[in-house]
């Protein structure tokens, strides 16, 4: 595998020096998209949040700023991501507001549950068995809890399909595919939002 492909494969599970570089790239590069996705949380209350596939922890930090009274559990299956997210949110961890754990979302069973909000930014492309994973998220949410998914591709754009072919284990999804799987997993109300002139996709589901 060439260095270029190896670097971009770090989006799936960051490891080693290249993984640390990728995490820094994602923390910087996903800022506008995560802000846009979080704008659809207006009116959604949260006191116990789970940030899934937290990467370098930037979105977790933004969520705690948005919900200053809430506690947050950040989860990722990459040890490199867990380390970076812990460093970035060290102050909130010391204050008892934040916990960072190494976990696989397909086996999600957290002691801090039930959560009233779960989030997933640029990560469901790599989840094994989407219905099972969404089911595990649903199981960890309260009744009336919300699940926010934010993707840089809506599954239809040519760029997203190009990266799907280049990155091992990546699958891009349309809003229809995500909606169908969410409903099969136990979510009752699903709303989808797209961004003008960009293939960004936000999905907000309620249990």
- Structural domain boundaries in the chain: 1-38+55-103, 116-207
Cα angle for residues 130, 105, 144 (degrees, 5° grid): 80
Closest CA to 51 of 103, 125, 126, 16: 103
**What span, in angstroms and rounded, lies between the C-alpha atoms of 66 and 123?**
21
Token look-up 């290249």 returns 18
Print pLDDT tens along the chain (207 aa): 565 566 555 566 666 775 566 676 676 667 799 999 999 999 999 999 999 999 999 999 999 999 999 999 999 999 999 999 999 999 999 999 999 999 999 999 898 899 999 999 999 999 999 999 999 999 999 999 999 999 999 999 887 787 787 778 889 999 999 999 999 999 999 999 999 899 999 999 999
d(CA 10, CA 7): 5
* pLDDT value at residue 166: 78
Q: SS3 for 191? A: strand
Q: Which residues contact 29 (CB under 8 A, 6 or more apart)?
A: none
Q: What is the pLDDT of residue 28?
A: 67
Question: Is the bond leading into 186 cis (omega within 30 degrees of zero)?
Answer: no
Superfamily of domain 116-207 in CATH is Vaccinia Virus protein VP39 (3.40.50.150)
pLDDT of residue 83: 95
Report the Cα 41 to chain-centroid distance in Å. Answer: 14
Give residue 18's pLDDT. Answer: 58
The 8-class DSSP code of residue 53 comes to T
- How far does CA 31 lie from the centroid of its chain? 13
Tokens representing residue 77 in the block: 């299956």
Tokens of 118: 């779960």
């Amino acid at each position: 595998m060439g260095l270029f492909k190896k670097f971009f494969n770090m989006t799936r599970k960051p490891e080693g020096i290249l993984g640390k570089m990728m995490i820094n790239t994602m923390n910087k590069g996903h800022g506008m998209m995560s802000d846009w996705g979080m704008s659809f949380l207006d009116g959604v209350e949260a006191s116990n949040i789970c940030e899934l596939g937290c990467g370098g922890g930037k979105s977790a930090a933004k969520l705690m700023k948005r919900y200053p009274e809430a506690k947050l559990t950040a989860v990722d299956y990459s040890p490199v991501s867990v380390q970076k997210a812990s460093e970035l949110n060290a102050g909130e961890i010391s204050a008892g507001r934040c916990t960072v754990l190494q976990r696989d979302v397909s086996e999600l069973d957290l002691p801090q549950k039930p959560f009233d909000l779960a989030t997933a930014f640029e990560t469901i492309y790599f989840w094994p068995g989407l219905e099972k994973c969404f089911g595990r998220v649903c199981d960890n949410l309260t009744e009336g809890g919300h699940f926010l998914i934010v993707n840089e591709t809506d599954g239809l754009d040519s760029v997203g399909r190009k990266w799907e072919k280049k990155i091992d284990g990546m699958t891009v999804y349309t809003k229809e595919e995500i909606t169908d799987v969410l409903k099969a997993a136990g979510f009752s109300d699903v709303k989808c939002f797209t961004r003008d002139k960009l293939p960004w996709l936000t999905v907000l589901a309620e249990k």
